Amino acid sequence: MPSGSEDSMEEGVAPPLRITPLKTVYEDDFLIGNVVPRQYLSEDETYVLTTHHSAATAENAMKPQPLQPDKGNFKFEQADAIVNAVLAAGMKMHGHTLAWHQQSPTWMNEEGVSREEAIENLTTHARTVAEHFRGRVISWDVLNEAINDNPANPADWRASLRQSRWYQTIGPDYVEIVFRAAREGDPDAMLYYNDYNLDNRNKALAVYNMVKELNEKYPNVGGRPLIDGVGMQGHYSLQTNVTNVEDSIKRFGSLGVEVSVTELDVQAGTDYELTETQAISQGVLYARLFNVFKKYAETIARVTMWGLNDDSSWRSERSPTMFDAEFQPKPAFFGALNPTVFIAQNQKGGSKSAVKQAQVHYGTPKLDGNDALWDSAPEIPVNQHLTAWQGATGSAKVLWDDKNLYVLVAVHNAVMNKTNANPREQDSVEVFIDENNGKTGAFEKGDGQYRVNFDNEASFNPASIKSGFTSVAFASGAVYTVAMRIPFKTIKPANGTVVGFDIQINGASPQGMRQSVAMWNDLSGNSAGDTSGYGTLKLMK
């Protein structure tokens, strides 16, 4: 969609390097997609999109807020232009998204809206939008990101639902309501549930149970089960466990539904810089992922990248896409293009990103934050965002003695919201401990997740680690501080002991939903049950 053309995609300038189109390599396996960030694309963006991809997803234009900012006032112009241009280029169009707790107008489900009115708002929007694009969109992300991260009891998918405004105003049946409305609007489009971190076993199981139950309840809605597919977003990092990705693809495929990888990118660099080693490691991970995708080609309908190049990516500072800022193909592209050859040629380059380590001084501080002992502790920055929203960040200091680990975290740019009943949705700090630094894919004895919000309300995973834990918190404006005393459970700490460790800062929105997540080291998104991506602390005396 070059400048000056609303409904066409003309081929841009000659490419910087003539290479086999990615879509050609996988044309017998699945669609290759990418995101369209806006109505008008540069010539380089148009070239990359149309040359290497057979499908497209609008990044924002088809979300609820842009399409119906005011009740009954549908604005289809920008989305229509994108869809028409995609189709004119001979590509397929995927719709994203009919219902989401983000980027939705507050009038749909704000406080004071009755259950009946919220149902009408939800069904009218989903049905109207799906009907408007009928015949032009092959599939829809009907519902986006409705399941909590790492739910404690994934067998109960209703209890695993995010406490969003849709949930609060309607209840858990809003899930089936929106899918039925979408099927009424477009009986032919494939209807997807879409979410991130579906390489997390518990979250994947909750989604599996939801789709299984609803498809058994509605086995014939317009000639087929209610939910046609599961979208695995695929926002990965060099710490991602590819086996977990494969397990989830296999699990969802066993339901007889389609699986699509809907928003693929791989974080690798730092501060808009990507070293040669990081680029090769990123390429190896892309290659390993595409080997898995090809293995399950009978299940996978589409693999969509989330970014035409690093510069336009929502995670641009971590260089996550297949093309650099000048639209030159990176090792990531060639890893996806020919995975087997790339891995064979770069086996030594497949190491994960360097694990951050902090040295921790010995001392028993007071938890009020004023103890001079804290002054000697090095600062640990907690400023790498896992989400598109760049919210609360902070820094931490850590000390230790023979019985406890002491953690002091100062948080900035916080909203100070704890209205959501789910602790994970509140402004809070989380500390992750892997006492033996086992780097395991599931918690062992001595591992744990300690969460404290700005009002000093604590929660634990597993609940058994609560014993002996103490915390304090104090807030002022958009800044708050949390101090924790965490007893050692399974080790006798000594000079030189290395402990697995990470910190997460959750930033709530004014509406009471978690919308930003900042980390120290682990960018996998699976810290709440998988210790393999944690940084480390070296205890020094």
> SS3 string of 293-358?
HHHCCCCEEEEEECCCCHHHCCCHHHCCCCECCCCCECHHHHHHHCHHHHHHHCHHHCCCCCCCEE
Q: Is 59 a catalytic residue?
A: no
- Give the residue from 35, 245, 230 showing the smallest Cα distance to 146: 230
Q: How far apart are CA 88 and CA 6, in angstroms?
A: 11
Q: What is the CB-side half-sphere exposure of residue 400 using CA atoms within 13 A?
A: 26
Residue 539: predicted pLDDT: 96
The DSSP 8-state label assigned to residue 73 in this structure reads: B
Same domain, 265 and 291: yes
Residue 9: predicted pLDDT: 42
SS3 508: strand
pLDDT by residue for the chain (541 residues), tens only, comes to: 533 333 444 443 334 456 899 999 999 999 999 999 998 999 999 999 999 999 999 999 999 999 999 999 999 999 999 999 999 999 999 999 999 999 999 999 998 999 999 999 999 999 999 999 999 999 999 999 999 988 889 999 999 999 999 999 999 999 999 999 999 999 999 999 999 999 999 999 999 999 999 999 999 999 999 999 999 999 999 989 999 999 999 999 999 999 999 999 999 988 899 999 999 999 999 999 999 999 999 999 999 999 999 999 999 999 999 999 999 999 999 999 999 999 999 977 554 557 899 999 999 999 987 889 999 899 999 998 877 677 899 999 999 999 999 999 999 988 999 998 889 999 999 999 999 999 998 899 999 999 999 999 999 999 999 999 999 999 988 899 999 999 999 999 999 999 999 999 999 988 888 888 999 999 888 899 899 889 999 999 9
Asked, for residue 311, whether it belongs to a domain, the answer is yes
Same domain, 429 and 325: no
Domain boundary residue among 326, 349, 372?
349
Q: What are the Cα distances from residue 337, in Å, to 36, 207, 290?
A: 21, 31, 9
Q: Check: CB of residue 523 under 8 Å from CB of residue 267.
A: yes
Asked, for residue 17, whether it belongs to a domain, the answer is no
CATH number for 315? 3.20.20.80
- Give the residue from 196, 264, 186, 262 showing the smallest Cα distance to 224: 186
Q: How far apart are CA 185 and CA 127, in angstroms?
A: 4
Same domain, 336 and 367: no
Residue 441: predicted pLDDT: 84
Same domain, 339 and 361: no
Asked, for residue 279, whether it belongs to a domain, the answer is yes
The answer to whether the Cα torsion of 357, 359, 363, 365 is positive or negative is negative
Same domain, 333 and 365: no
User: How many independent structural domains does the chain possess?
Assistant: 2
Asked, for residue 477, whether it belongs to a domain, the answer is yes
CATH number for 480? 2.60.40.1190
Q: Is 145 a catalytic residue?
A: yes
Same domain, 403 and 341: no
Domain around 179: 22-349
Q: Check: CB of residue 439 under 8 Å from CB of residue 535.
A: no
CB atoms within 10 A of CB 387: 19
Residue 18: predicted pLDDT: 64
Straight-line distance from the first to the last Cα atom of the chain, in angstroms, rounded to the nearest whole number:
61
pTM across the whole model: 0.86
Residue 529: predicted pLDDT: 87
Domain boundary residue among 287, 315, 349?
349
Same domain, 322 and 372: no
Residue 6: predicted pLDDT: 39
Same domain, 150 and 244: yes
Q: Of 44, 80, 195, 502, which one is the catalytic site residue?
A: 195
Same domain, 304 and 377: no
Domain boundary residue among 286, 316, 349?
349
Q: Of 263, 427, 430, 530, which one is the catalytic site residue?
A: 263
Apex 309 CA angle, 303 and 311, nearest 5: 140
The answer to whether the Cα torsion of 387, 388, 390, 392 is positive or negative is negative
Residue 510: predicted pLDDT: 87
Q: Check: CB of residue 323 under 8 Å from CB of residue 489.
A: no
Asked, for residue 325, whether it belongs to a domain, the answer is yes
Q: Which tokens in the block code for residue 102? A: 């983000």
Reported in sequence order, the residue ranges of 133-182 that DSSP labels E, i.e. its strands, are 139-144
Q: Check: CB of residue 119 under 8 Å from CB of residue 173.
A: no
Asked, for residue 447, whether it belongs to a domain, the answer is yes
Residue 11: predicted pLDDT: 41
Q: How far apart are CA 520 and CA 498, in angstroms?
A: 17
Asked, for residue 241, whether it belongs to a domain, the answer is yes
User: Which residues on adjacent β-strands are paired with residue 186?
Assistant: none
Same domain, 219 and 320: yes
Same domain, 397 and 431: yes
Length of the chain in residues, anyone? 541
Same domain, 273 and 310: yes
Asked, for residue 513, whether it belongs to a domain, the answer is yes
